[in-house]
Copies of this chain bind each other. A is one copy, B any other.
Amino acid sequence: MGAAGAAKGTDPNAEVIVFTEYEDTSYSPCGIPYVHGQEIASFESLFMATKQHYVDQGIDIRYETAVTSIDVKAKTVTASDGTVERYDSLVLATGFNYADPGVPGGDLGGIYYVKNIRQAMEWDKVLDTVKTAVVDEATPLGTEMVTALAHRGIETHLVDPAPWAMSMATDPDIMQPVEESWVEMGAKLHFKTKVTGFVGKGGKLTKVTTSEGDIPADLAVVATKKEPNTAVAVAAGIKTGMSGGLIVDGRMRTSAPGVYAAGDCTEIPHGVSNVPIQGLSGSHAYAQGKVAGTNAAGGSREYQAVYVPWGMVAGKWMIGGVSFSETLATALGLPFITGMAQGISRARYYPDVKPVKVKLLAEPEHLRLIGAQLVGGEGIKERADFLAMAVRTGITINDLATMENVYSPPIGALNEPIALAAQNALTKVRS
C-alpha cells in the first residue's frame, strides 16, 4: 500500500491497481501479538484506513485476488479470478512465508502461523481455551509471541535449536535478563532443542515432540524464519539472490524490465558487509515500497544499503540493536573490539529509573562502530536508531566516548550508557 500511495502521489493520473489474496489491506500485522497478549484491547484499532479511503484516493484494490502468474514480455499479470491486466510498471510486494518446520503433523488443527488479521481474530478466541502452548523458534515473532502468551497467563514453552533467544542478532549476555524474566512470567525455555513433530488426536494437536522429549500442548505457534515469497516471480524468470530474495538495485528494480520489488520478498545489501540480507522490519518494507512506487510511476528515488536497527519488548525488558552482534561478527570472521556498560535511564534517585545495558562492537583499525545491542527499561528504540545512523555514517567509538548528553534527573542520567560503553571499549584499545 506504501508503493500504491507513492505511485499515485508521484503521478496522480496513473492507474494504480493492487491485487491482494486477503480480505483487507492496510492494517498493522505487527500489532497482532499485542492483542493476543491483551496489551491492546481489540483488533479493530490495528486498521489504519478504510476501504473507502483507497477508493477516494483512486486506488483500485482487488481483494481476495492473488496474482498467479506474470508474463514479463507481454507485461501482463494473471490473477486467481482469471483477470489479465497489462502493466507499464509492476511492483512485487509478496512478502514472506514461514520456513516449513519440515516435521510431521504440520497440518493439524491447533497450529498457528501468525499473519492474517482475520485469522488472528479467530485464533484470539481459541486462546481463551488454550492451557499450554509451544512456540517454535525464538525469532523476533517467536520472542513477541512467548511474551504475549505468557502475559495472557498461558503455560508457554519456547523451543529453539540455538543456545539462546534471537541468536541471529544477539549475544547471550544481552538476552540473559530477558530469559530470566520469561521464567518469572511462567514460561518454560527449551534451548538447544528442535521440534521433531506435531502429534494430534482427531485432527487436533495434543503434543509437540522435540529432540529433548515431548511437550503436551493444545497450541503450537510456528515462528520459524521468514522466507521470501517469490514463487510467482521466480516462475516468471525474475532473478533471486543468495538469500533467496528478489535481487533489486537502488531504485528497487528487479531483473525484469518495469518490474520493481519491495519488502520481505527482496534482499538488500547490508551496508557494512555488503552481504545481501532478507527479512527486515515493517519500516524497511514501507520505505522500500515508497521508493518502488515512486520510481514505478516515473519518479526518481534511491533506496540505501541497510544497517538494520531493531528493537522490541521481550519478557519484561526492551531489547534492541543494530548490525552485528559479537556472535554474528565472529561467525562472519569480522575483526572487532567490544565495549560494555551497565548504565541507567534517569538520575539514580528519580522514580522509575531503569537499567540500560549497552554493548558496542567496533572494527579495530579505525574504531568505527559496526554493531550494538541494548537491553533495558526505556529509551532502547531511540538509542538503536541513533546507533544505526552511527554505523551508517562511520561514527567511531572515540566520537561516542566523548558524546555530549542531556542530563536532567527525570529523563536522563549524568552519564549516557552509550558513552560509558564506548569509554569501556577505549580502555581495551589503549591497553
Contact = CB atoms under 8 A, between A and B. Distances in A.
Given A312-B408, A350-B31, A385-B404, A283 B399 contact: no
Interface in A272-315: 281-284, 286-287, 304, 306-313
A407 interface: yes
B378 A347 contact: no
A389 B390 contact: yes
Interface residues of A, number: 61
A309 B404 contact: yes
Contact of A395 (B39, B388, B389, B416): B389
Given A283-B416, A284-B404, A385-B404, 20 more contacts: A28-B347, A30-B408, A40-B349, A45-B349, A281-B407, A283-B405, A283-B406, A286-B415, A310-B406, A312-B411, A313-B408, A379-B381, A379-B382, A381-B405, A381-B412, A382-B412, A388-B403, A389-B400, A389-B404, A392-B404
Contact of A34 (B283, B380, B409): B409
B30 A347 contact: yes
Nearest to A37: B410
Nearest to A307: B404
* Interchain residue pairs A-B with the least CB separation, the first 9: A382-B382, A283-B407, A386-B386, A45-B349, A311-B406, A381-B412, A381-B411, A381-B406, A379-B382
Interface in A378-431: 378-386, 388-390, 392-393, 395, 399-400, 402-412, 414-416, 418
Nearest to A322: B404
Interface of A: 28, 30-31, 34, 39-40, 45-46, 281-284, 286-287, 304, 306-313, 318, 320, 347, 349-351, 378-386, 388-390, 392-393, 395, 399-400, 402-412, 414-416, 418
Contacts of A31: 347, 349-350, 409
A385 B406 contact: yes
Nearest to A291: B402
Given A40-B351, A306-B404, A388-B403, A411 B380 contact: yes
Given A31-B347, A39-B350, A45-B349, A385 B407 contact: no
Contacts of A403: 385, 388-389
A349 B281 contact: no
12 contacts: A28-B409, A28-B414, A30-B408, A34-B409, A34-B410, A39-B350, A312-B411, A379-B381, A379-B382, A388-B404, A389-B399, A393-B395
A380 B381 CA distance: 12
B282 A411 contact: no
A384 B409 contact: no
A412 B388 CA distance: 15
A416 B383 CA distance: 12
A31 B350 CA distance: 8
